[in-house]
Amino acid sequence: MTEAFDPRALAARLHSLHRAGRQEETGSFPLPVDLHQAMEAQNFLTAADGVSSNAWKVTVSPQGQAVAAPLHPYAEAVSGADIPWYPGLKFETEIAVRLGKDLPVRVSAPYSRADVVEAISAVYLGAELLVSAVREGGSVSFLLFLADRLGNSGYALGPQLDTSVVDSAGGTPLKVTHAGRTIYDGPAQHPKGDVLTWLVDYANDGLRPETSLKAGALITTGTLSGAIELAEPGAIDILFGDARLSFSLSKA
């Protein structure tokens, strides 16, 4: 007989691995079998991590299911952020948006992109840090990766940008240095072309919590630089067009 899945136990194990800066293979974990179990575990992990920010990442599973996870630790880098570095840490340059009004779950007509743009009150340059307690990330079990807060391990919010950036981010010159070395120098490129694709998908997800996408929430929208592994701590400096974001990564 298969042992019942325990979301609290999975969350406790993920939390312990993160605190130790360790990773284990997918096969060593009890696996959630559906979205509900994965989100139960994620909610327990969120509580164990002491997440207090109203900041979120959105993406879509390989099966097309829109999903979200909270960003933590979250820092506004304009005041000088310092985020923990762990072995295996990866970095992504991103655009974040703050909602100026609620986007409640709809059962009738879906939200259009224009509807989502209308709900955005501010746009920012940001940087996400990722390291999952699951060695393979989401490549073997996306639901396990979802339980692990989609691999998020930090977020630095940078300067406010013109709201038109949600339409023009692709192709903007982007240069990133880490510990004095250039790790990205080229045009900004989102995996879906449009930085708002995953946010629109999530807005139209009938399974998302009623409490999601409320006014004031900050949503990061996906990488513009790919995911770049950072082999050591050090200062990060991002130049996106004329906007700059700088912060530090220190050994935990």
CATH code of residue 224: 3.90.850.10
The 10s digit of each residue's pLDDT in 19-70 is 999 999 999 999 999 999 999 999 999 999 999 989 999 999 999 999 999 9
pTM as predicted: 0.94
Which amino acid, 71? L
The SS3 call for residue 238 is strand
User: What is the residue whose two structure tokens read 């130790």?
Assistant: 20
The dihedrals phi and psi of 211, each to the nearest 5 degrees, come to -85, -5
pLDDT over 70 (residue 2): no
On whether the CB atoms of residues 125 and 92 are closer than 8 A, the answer is: no
Let me know if residue 107 belongs to a domain: yes
Let me know if residue 2 belongs to a domain: no
pLDDT over 60 (residue 242): yes
Let me know if residue 91 belongs to a domain: yes
Q: Is the dihedral of CA 226, 46, 74, 19 positive or negative?
A: negative
Let me know if residue 202 belongs to a domain: yes
Nearest Cα to Cα of residue 188 among 152, 126, 241, 237: 241
Q: What's the pLDDT score for residue 79?
A: 67
Nearest Cα to Cα of residue 128 among 69, 170, 182: 69
Report the relative pairing of strands 120-130 and 90-99 from DSSP bridges: antiparallel
Whole domain around residue 41: which residue ranges? 7-251
Let me know if residue 129 belongs to a domain: yes
Beta strand residue intervals within 73-217, DSSP E: 74-76, 82-85, 90-99, 120-130, 152-161, 173-178, 181-187
Average confidence score pLDDT of the chain: 95
Let me know if residue 32 belongs to a domain: yes
Q: What's the pLDDT score for residue 18?
A: 94
pLDDT over 80 (residue 140): yes
Q: What's the pLDDT score for residue 1?
A: 36
Query: Domains in the chain: how many in total?
Result: 1
Tokens of 51: 């997440």
Find residue 60's DSSP bridge partners. Answer: 66
Q: What's the pLDDT score for residue 107?
A: 83
C-alpha 187/C-alpha 230 separation (Å) is: 20
Q: How many residues does the chain have?
A: 252
Let me know if residue 20 belongs to a domain: yes
Let me know if residue 150 belongs to a domain: yes
